[in-house]
Structure 1
Amino acid sequence: MSANTPETRSNRKLLIGGLLVVLISINGILIYMNYQKKEKTEEQAEIINVKNSELENQIKVYEALKADFERQSQELSAMGLENDSLESQIATITADLEELRGFRKRSYSLADQRRFRDRASAFEKQLQEKDQEIARLKQDNEVLFTENTDLKTTQTRLSDSLTTMRSTNEELSQQVRVASKLEAHGLNVNIINQRGKEKEDDDNEFRAKRVDKLRIDFTLAKNDVAKKEPKTVYMRMIEPDGAALYNLSTGSGTFQVDGEDMYYTAKRDFVFDNTQQALSFTYDKNAEYKKGQHTVELYADGFLIGKATFVLK
């Protein structure tokens, strides 16, 4: 009975109270530790969220940088320019993007964050410098385009003026050519018989059997426009059937009138001196002449300068 003394009961109470205090303390410590653990877990989760957000933002920055560098490359290509450094930068950014996207499956450290931010800043500076360079190139191209347009306009005007001048010169040349056309006046046809005697007829009618040779006389009219220079007169003797007498052995050949070849019977070279020169042809067919109307045509410088007819009976 002595064990249940007031002193013993007091000690028991003290012991129970101490145990309660210890239990409460331990519980408090456990509660605090759980709180700290939870707080640390939340802090770590927040850090992970921040890192993930930073990673995604950095990926977006690099995607935008790549798009801008590709835009610059296209603008240079549109101006007909090439830039290997831009292609190299695009390749580098593409490699960085692949590395950044790989951090979605592994740790993205603060050192990595700083490294990619610094590289992005360098790329952005290069991008701005290149944009300024492209702006200057565009301005220079606009100036060149304006100058080229003005030059083409001037060239077109000059070309039009030259075309007009050529047309005018051609017209003037043609007018001078026409004005310098020679004229054969007094064209007369006589016959020379086998005895060498010459006979003329006011009606230009002769007996065919008496004709041995033909003599065609004419005088060149004055022309102050025509050049004083060597020239050639072509004589065409057209028989009653409409064909021109042509015999290579007697000096016949071809010449051109308005770009077309024509046969001539004989030709005569002379020097035009604008003195109303008297010229003549003596033609020997070396064969019997056909009966009927004959036509004599004279040409010089591509023009018909005289014409006459005679009849052989």
Structure 2
Amino acid sequence: MEMENHSPSNSNTLKIGLVVLLGALGLLGYLYYGSQNENADLQKLLGGSVEELEKIKAQLEQDKKRLKADSNFSTKKYEGKIAEYEAFLLQKDEDILKLKEENGLLNSQNLTLQTEKEQVITQNKSLSYAKDSLNSKVSEVSSQNEDLRRKVNVGSALKAVSVQVVGLTSKGKEKEGELKNKRIDQLKVSYILPSNPLTERNNKEVYMRVLDPNGAVLNDMARGGVLNFANQEIGYSTKQSVPYTNDDQRVDMFYKKEA
């Protein structure tokens, strides 16, 4: 009677052991395949799942030893399953080692990336300083160029010299000295445009202003106009385009009085 009571007990123990073993195997598989889908977070995986795998592995080893120690346990019947479990546990050992190696590689890569990031930040700061320095130099050079341009413009400006004014009668005879309005038909202004090495040889616009006795500029819209010079509007009586030859040339301009 004791043997009959003992046999069902051993059978139940064996079933319970197999259920626990298969349940642990299922949990182990779930943790493993779950870890494969979460490679992006290896550090967290190693901190949790790897510890669970190691705990389950130890529990399975204990269950295996306990089942083998049971006198009614059939090794031949379940040795195939045990071999599979052992192969599975061996694979888990290799996977754990591989995960640790990959984690170490990721740590190394993270360190390299951090170093490269710091280098890029340093290079960006250097480039920023260089850019600011370059902008400052460009501004300084622009200011110097503008100052030089003003000096060149002043230096290249032409100023009429040896100006002579005579009156011409309607017959073309010249009247020098004090001129009377009734006796002259037009004014003849002669001057010299001096040579200047800074001045280009091209057409120059020469403006002439004729003043009345009250100091006002004689200006009719047919011949005269208004010149914008140095941000000021200056009226003129007539103008003439002169081909500048840069050889102290003499130029004549004429202003015919209004009828």
Match of 2:188 in 1: 215
SS of 1:182's equivalent in the other structure is coil
**Greater CA radius of gyration, 1 or 2?**
1
Counterpart Cα distance in 1 of 2:19 and 2:199 = 113
For the Cα contact (< 8 Å) 2:156–2:199, is it kept in 1?
A: no
Match of 1:75 in 2: none
For the Cα contact (< 8 Å) 1:216–1:282, is it kept in 2?
A: yes
For the Cα contact (< 8 Å) 2:188–2:252, is it kept in 1?
A: yes
Map of 1:1-313 to 2, 5 A cutoff?
Answer: 27-58=1-32, 61-62=35-36, 64-68=38-42, 110=85, 115=91, 118-119=94-95, 121-122=97-98, 124-185=100-161, 187-202=163-178, 205-207=179-181, 209-219=182-192, 227=198, 230=201, 232=204, 234-237=206-209, 243=219, 246=222, 265-272=239-246, 277=248, 279-283=250-254, 285=256, 289-290=258-259
Q: Residues 230 and 172 of structure 1: is their aligned pair in 2 closer, same or farther, counting only changes over 3 Å?
A: same
For the Cα contact (< 8 Å) 2:205–2:239, is it kept in 1?
A: no
**Moved >6 Å (runs of 4+):** 252-256, 258-263
- Which range is displaced more, 259-268 or 185-194? 259-268
SS of 1:283's equivalent in the other structure is strand
Counterpart Cα distance in 2 of 1:254 and 1:196 = 30
For the Cα contact (< 8 Å) 2:166–2:187, is it kept in 1?
A: yes
Match of 1:23 in 2: none
Match of 1:309 in 2: none
Q: Once the 2 structures are TM-superposed, how far is the Cα of residue 175 of structure 1 from its aligned partner?
A: 2.8
After superposition, what is the alpha-carbon deviation per residue over 1:189-217, rounded to whole angstroms, capped at 9, x for unaligned? 32111333211334xx532x533342113
Q: Once the 2 structures are TM-superposed, how far is the Cα of residue 178 of structure 1 from its aligned partner?
A: 2.3
Q: Residues 278 and 50 of structure 1: is their aligned pair in 2 closer, same or farther, counting only changes over 3 Å?
A: closer
For the Cα contact (< 8 Å) 1:186–1:218, is it kept in 2?
A: yes
**One-letter amino acid matched to 1:281:** D
Q: Residues 284 and 177 of structure 1: is their aligned pair in 2 closer, same or farther, counting only changes over 3 Å?
A: closer
Q: Residues 259 and 34 of structure 1: is their aligned pair in 2 closer, same or farther, counting only changes over 3 Å?
A: same
Q: Residues 42 and 140 of structure 1: is their aligned pair in 2 closer, same or farther, counting only changes over 3 Å?
A: same
For the Cα contact (< 8 Å) 1:184–1:219, is it kept in 2?
A: yes
When you count strand as a share of all residues, which structure comes out higher? 1
For the Cα contact (< 8 Å) 2:156–2:198, is it kept in 1?
A: yes
TM-score, length-scaled by structure 1 = 0.51
Q: Residues 137 and 150 of structure 1: is their aligned pair in 2 closer, same or farther, counting only changes over 3 Å?
A: same
SS of 1:194's equivalent in the other structure is coil
For the Cα contact (< 8 Å) 2:240–2:253, is it kept in 1?
A: no
SS of 2:250's equivalent in the other structure is strand
- Which range is displaced more, 161-170 or 185-194? 185-194
Q: Residues 192 and 242 of structure 1: is their aligned pair in 2 closer, same or farther, counting only changes over 3 Å?
A: closer
**One-letter amino acid matched to 1:160:** S
TM-score, length-scaled by structure 2 = 0.59
**One-letter amino acid matched to 1:268:** V
**One-letter amino acid matched to 1:132:** S
For the Cα contact (< 8 Å) 1:192–1:213, is it kept in 2?
A: yes
Q: Residues 141 and 210 of structure 1: is their aligned pair in 2 closer, same or farther, counting only changes over 3 Å?
A: same
Question: Structure 1 unaligned runs (5+)?
Answer: 1-26, 70-106, 291-313
After superposition, what is the alpha-carbon deviation per residue over 1:151-188, rounded to whole angstroms, capped at 9, x for unaligned? 23213212211221111221132134224433335544
For the Cα contact (< 8 Å) 1:190–1:199, is it kept in 2?
A: yes
Match of 2:78 in 1: none
SS of 1:271's equivalent in the other structure is coil
Question: Structure 2 unaligned runs (5+)?
Answer: 44-80
**One-letter amino acid matched to 1:218:** Y
Q: Once the 2 structures are TM-superposed, how far is the Cα of residue 283 of structure 1 from its aligned partner?
A: 1.8
Q: Once the 2 structures are TM-superposed, how far is the Cα of residue 133 of structure 1 from its aligned partner?
A: 3.0
